[in-house]
Structure 1
Amino acid sequence: MKHYFSTLTFLIFIFVTTGIQAEIKLPAIFGDNMVLQQQTEAAIWGKSEKNKTVKVTTSWNKKNYSTKADNEGNWKVKVQTPNAGGPYSITISDGKSLTLKNVLIGEVWVCSGQSNMQMTMSGYFNQPVTGANQAIATSRNEKIRLFTVKHEKSLEQQYNFSGDWQECLPENVAQFSAAAYFFGEMINETLGVPVGLICSSWGGTRIEPWISENGFGNFDWVNLPDKNSKEEFNQQVPTVLYNAMIAPMVGYSIRGGLWYQGEANRNQPKEYEKLMSGLIDNWRNEWGIGDFSFYYVQIAPFNYGPNSLNSAFLREAQFKASTAIQNIGMACAMDVGEEFCIHPANKKVVGERLAYLALANTYGMKGVEYSGPVLKEMTVEGSLVKLTFDHAKNGLTTFGKELKNFKVAGEDKRFVPATAHITRKGITLSSPLVEKPVAVRYAFDDFVIGELFNTEGLPASSFRTDDWEMK
């Protein structure tokens, strides 16, 4: 009798264990309420019993897709997605079925960076988001979905991370990235399609942790970690946030990426200029879906104190990076910085400026300006300096403010305040202290409130015409 019960127990154990092994398991990025990118071949992957046939059925076209799990139980299929719409369902079966419900098809954006991207609609302690309470109260929207990746770091690339797709309800929006939400809200309202926002960010982090090991081939000044090390490490180590918070979703169907970071790298602007385009190239190579759109926010002016390099050099590096590779752009925040708060409260204007970039360049919307004035040419006539600008077809404006942030220098390289005026062709400036000007700078200080705009209301970045030593 004992032998009988032992055999029965063993058989039950084998049956239960086999059942557990056969159960479909999906990474967190796939779940109820998710958004898949429209009009593409969207990858779906997971785990099952090894060598098991897995069938995926999509409700929008009733089509079946089959694949076979490998010797470790890994499987992957690509499903054809239709035009934006939903809700739909996706059923995945290896003999046992799992159904993903309330799935939308629309536009998917990955949103990453440090604390200004992480900053939720509720703000930080004593640091609000302007207009957040009203925005949260009116945020219920069946066509926007939110996913926040929980903080984690790793020396090795991970298969999964923690997080879940949430519906756009006030209680969820309150805890979601403000910059990302305002971006998504505008895209949804303007295009009338579902929008999925995936926020993977960590306050205070440098750019290096967000790049994979494969992305550092041209950056020999970066010391990569020993992946076999048993010592403690923090979130600033190169690759560790890519490994834990980006890699698990690489391959997920997306339209593009958003980035709000740079403050932590402000003292290394020359390196950052290369790393910024390097990160974008790296993500595009890892995703393997072509040169998807990528837009980022230039850091806002802030008083970093006397022991820090003038952060205008970092803003300059970000501006230069914006033309280094194709299909990218920079949103300027020169007018929203706060002298003693590194987290500008006006996240709505930041999100909207990112949206302008996407609407004009990714979605091809005509009539929408996406950039503030960009210096085109400087000419010198005696003691006068004349500047012309691109992205100012209808002219320039200060919205009633005086132009106070221009400086001019002669061959002695000493900058002094200049008197500047808007003209029909651009800006003319001069100073009685500089008879033969050779260089101009605009708003090229740590903290400054930009006052130069085009008539569409977008600010000019700080800029300089010289390439003199950084101080």
Structure 2
Amino acid sequence: MMKTNRLNIKLGLVLLLCLCFAAIGEAKISLPYLINDGMVLQRGKAVPIWGTADAGESVTLKFAGKEYQTTAGPDGNWKIMLPAMKAGGPYDMQINDITLHNILIGDVFLCSGQSNMELTVARVMDMFADEINAYENTNIHYLKVPYCYDFNEPQKDIKKAEWQPLDKTHVMGYSALCYFFAKQLYEKTKVPVGIINSSWGGTPIEAWISEEGLQDFPVYTHQKAVYESKELINNIQQIEQARGRAWQIELYKTDKGTHAQTPWYAENYDDSAWQTVDMFSPQWATNGWRPINGVHWFRQQIDLPASWNGKEATLRLGCIVDADSVYVNGKFVGSVAYQYPPRIYNIPKGLLKTGKNQITIRLVSNGGLPSFVKDKPYKLICGTEETNLSQQWKHRIGTEMPQAPSSTAFQNMPIGLYNGMIAPLRNYVFKGTVWYQGESNTGKWKEYASLLKSLMKDWRKTFGMPEMPFYIMELADFMAPDNPGRKGWAALQAQQAKAAEEDPHATLIPNKDTGEWNDIHPLDKKTGGKRLVEAVTQSF
């Protein structure tokens, strides 16, 4: 009996030791998402590699023929400084049992702002398709910081993201400005380029500044304090989502065109009693004293030659305010949910026919004046042939609705984006920062220069670079010359110039001449990229 007990004790001790060794063997380090396959490290400067592990765990890093060691602190954090290195790569990096691949050493830029910084390559293919389709470069890597706001504290890491090489698989998701900047910079320097794009369309500058950086603007720090309760944010979102769903349900339920015995998008529907309107006239969009929100239906017949019969084609419908669903010969071909993207709809093989073809648009107006944007392409394209659509359409109102309920854009609140999308980058080393923002501040332009100077000072402190270069992209011109909004636009451009002039390490990149009067997102991002390269390389 005693021998059996002793044997059980020995087996228990052996099992315990095995579990301890297994636990030791399973101890893992953790890396932030920035430190990953494909990352680009800044040449010519000492750069940190950091992460977390169990307290006291040894960390060994092997890179470019050298080995570095450290130990995780009591809080589990560790950091290893790599010495300044020359441009090169690709390299592998070994950190304990983790191997990172395809690492480059070159010039790394932080690009930030709102939608014109975020606008993707896919959106500028009308102007640059041939150039983009013909180019790949594995010495250019890009990381888009995922959306995140926080009103309580600066975050330690970004949400999950990956470094992406400039190849055909990833290029359409690149920022167009970042694409042309990186491409032309590499062509000039032959040095690998890394871009970290931390931007969010429609956001104002105050969302990108820390609480400390906004101390001279107490109205913004107080506004941020209102939303520190996550419970409050969740409650607001639930109420607003419920209101929005109720509006959409009523819209759908009362839309006569959707529920008619013969739906208004049907090919054989008789629209002879409908009013004929000019698509660019505001008359169909109002009742004489206010906009008609809800659903507007438009129908147009177009004659096509036999050469188009059954072939695949593309329908271009410019830009539409606000949303639309489109049908060709009674078949749904696509929809867009908001006003800014160009309407480019593929018509599959077998749908078009010789002779008369029916195009139907179901336009949804959420608020404001519904419209078709002038001086945009409205046409059918089949191979090398194309035919323009008429400005005259048959029109009928499907349902009239009150303005859609508004929702709170929490990403626009002060400080939130700094905490969620800038603070997590604080350990990364950059060559400089490109800032393209201001559209959302044109209505309060008088404070913009002061806010921009505060942002530059704030970020330099965050990144520990007192002389960090800032390249400020001038707003591209927008709106017709007689539009009253042009004054605020021009005033903000002047504020950008003022901030750049008063900061010895800031440069204004001329860009107003690339604008389009009818599009807040002009296609020409190549010219701005070229001018940006010229400014950046002056300091090389």
TM-score (norm 1): 0.70
Matched residue, 2:198: 200
TM-score (norm 2): 0.61
1:53·1:69 contact (CA, 8 Å) conserved in 2? yes
Matched residue, 2:535: 357
2:149·2:411 contact (CA, 8 Å) conserved in 1? yes
1:69 to 48, 72, 83: 72
Bigger Cα Rg: 2
Matched residue, 1:85: 88
Q: What are the superposed Cα offsets for residues 93-150 of structure 1, whole Å, 9 maximum, x if unpaired?
A: 2xxx212111111000011110000000001xxxx45533223212311211111111
> Is the counterpart of residue 339 in structure 1 residue 336 in structure 2?
no
Sort the Cα spacing of 1:13 and 1:334 in 2 relative to 1 into closer, same or farther, 3 A. Answer: same
1:109·1:198 contact (CA, 8 Å) conserved in 2? yes
1:165 to 155, 163, 166: 163
Matched residue, 1:444: none
Matched residue, 2:43: 38
**More displaced 10-residue stretch of structure 1: 202-211 or 302-311:** 302-311
Residue identity in the other structure for 1:325 = D
Q: Which runs of 5+ in 2 are unaligned?
A: 234-408
Sort the Cα spacing of 1:309 and 1:220 in 2 relative to 1 into closer, same or farther, 3 A. Answer: farther
Higher-helix-fraction structure: 2
Structure 1 counterpart SS, 2:523: coil
Map 1:209-228 to 2 at 5 A. 209-224=207-222, 225-226=224-225, 228=228
1:243 to 411, 416, 419: 419
Shift of 1:278: 1.1
> Is the counterpart of residue 143 in structure 1 residue 321 in structure 2?
no
Structure 2 counterpart SS, 1:267: helix
Map 1:285-296 to 2 at 5 A. 285-296=461-472
Matched residue, 1:391: none
Shift of 1:260: 0.7
Sort the Cα spacing of 1:10 and 1:256 in 2 relative to 1 into closer, same or farther, 3 A. Answer: same
Structure 1 counterpart SS, 2:143: strand
Matched residue, 1:115: 115
- Provide the C-alpha distance between the structure 2 equivalents of 1:201 and 1:78, rounded to a whole number of angstroms: 28
Q: What are the superposed Cα offsets for residues 200-219 of structure 1, whole Å, 9 maximum, x if unpaired?
A: 11000001111112211233
- Provide the C-alpha distance between the structure 1 equivalents of 2:19 and 2:495, rounded to a whole number of angstroms: 61
**More displaced 10-residue stretch of structure 1: 259-268 or 155-164:** 155-164
Question: Percent identity over the alignment?
Answer: 36
Map 1:420-431 to 2 at 5 A. none
Shift of 1:259: 0.9
1:300·1:336 contact (CA, 8 Å) conserved in 2? yes
> Is the counterpart of residue 54 in structure 1 residue 55 in structure 2?
no
- Provide the alpha-carbon RMSD of the alignment: 2.4
Sort the Cα spacing of 1:23 and 1:294 in 2 relative to 1 into closer, same or farther, 3 A. Answer: same
> Is the counterpart of residue 271 in structure 1 residue 428 in structure 2?
no
Sort the Cα spacing of 1:12 and 1:249 in 2 relative to 1 into closer, same or farther, 3 A. Answer: farther
Matched residue, 2:174: 176
Matched residue, 1:301: 477
2:516·2:522 contact (CA, 8 Å) conserved in 1? yes
Matched residue, 1:311: 489
Shift of 1:15: 5.9
Matched residue, 2:127: 131
Matched residue, 1:406: none
2:34 to 12, 29, 35: 29
- Provide the C-alpha distance between the structure 1 equivalents of 2:132 and 2:109, rounded to a whole number of angstroms: 20
Aligned length: 351
2:479·2:485 contact (CA, 8 Å) conserved in 1? no
Q: Which runs of 5+ in 1 are unaligned?
A: 364-471
Q: What are the superposed Cα offsets for residues 363-403 of structure 1, whole Å, 9 maximum, x if unpaired?
A: 2xxxxxxxxxxxxxxxxxxxxxxxxxxxxxxxxxxxxxxxx
1:90·1:99 contact (CA, 8 Å) conserved in 2? yes
- Provide the C-alpha distance between the structure 2 equivalents of 1:137 and 1:85, rounded to a whole number of angstroms: 26
2:182·2:193 contact (CA, 8 Å) conserved in 1? yes
